[in-house]
Amino acid sequence: MSSFEKEVKKGERFQFGKNWHRFLSVLNEERIKIAENSLKEMLRKDNLEDYSFVDAGCGSGLFSLAARRLGAKVYSFDYDPQSVACTKELKRRYFSNDSNWEISQGSVLDADYLKTLGQFDIVYSWGVLHHTGDMWSALNNVVNLVGKQGYLFIAIYNDQGFKSKFWTRVKKTYCSGMAGKILTLSIFIPYFFIGALAASMIKRENVFRAYKKNRGMSIYHDWIDWLGGYPFEVAKVEDIFNFYFERGFNLFNIKTSCGLGNNQFVFKRSMPG
């Protein structure tokens, strides 16, 4: 039994890859285009030709695919074997036998593994490092992946104090076993659905359809990802900024959340790696 399987069995880790495998059934051209636009917006680039791109914690593989379609040479890895399988499936569908897209299984907490990868022009890790169980080590480890004048694009959950602590308990309950999963789903999925329905009525917009405009993801699969996403850590904007400033990075772009969502950061290395 692998370390990943042991952690899942002990209730210490959510199976993100299993959830993303279901997401592939609703993936279409529109969602891929939205993911591409998300990268272009935050990186302020129309294409990624002549850039190397590492997707650290590739999840569904959607953003590895988006980066490859924008012209980048892509390397994808994830700790979850089912996430690796999802990414391989997307490569099979869209870039079969492409030598400019490599995929492997590995952990961002494994410094020895990361050393074998070298450095990249763009290091992308969206909503991943806070799920490793050791966020600050993960945040530090990705530094060595960023090449000279390279970019680091990360998203980290916003620290909401007691609210974040409450959701940590919910996520831990979900991962504790079948009973915890059923209890969590039975309480929160109706709550989320009613909230989205009410928002649709107030905004006079179908929130369910509009949601995919947010990085091309699926609202239902993101609900499951949110409820089960354990381990779970958070950070304040200023803590992330200071952490990377001290390591030779300048802030290039930012998109903050006023609630429990992710704060998105793009840093650019200002000192040689």
pLDDT 10s digits, 27-52? 889 889 999 999 999 999 999 999 99
pLDDT classification of 272: cutoffs 50, 70, 90: low
Specify the pLDDT at position 139: 98
270 vs 267, residue with greater confidence: 267
Which residues, in sequence order, are CB contacts of 165 under 8 Å at separation 6+? none
Of 75-84, 99-108, 145-154, 222-231, the poorest mean pLDDT is in 222-231
Confidence (pLDDT) at 221: 78
* Positions of E strands within the chain: 52-56, 73-78, 101-105, 120-126, 146-157, 249-255, 262-269
pLDDT tens per residue across span 123-181: 999 999 999 999 999 999 999 999 999 999 999 999 999 999 999 999 999 999 999 99
User: Mean pLDDT for the chain?
Assistant: 90
Query: Domains in the chain, ordered, with CATH?
Result: 3-158+234-269 (3.40.50.150), 162-228 (no CATH)
Q: Pseudo-torsion of CA 67, 117, 127, 47, nearest 10°?
A: -20
Give the tens place of pLDDT for each residue, 88-116: 999 999 999 999 999 999 999 999 999 99
DSSP secondary structure string, 40-86?
HHHHT-S--TT-EEEEET-TTSHHHHHHHHTT-EEEEEESSHHHHHH
**What's the sign of the alpha-carbon dihedral 162, 168, 171, 172?**
negative
Residue whose token pair is 């409820």: 227
Residue 212 has pLDDT above 60, yes or no: no
| Tokens coding 121 | 């022009």
pLDDT at residue 193, as a whole number: 86
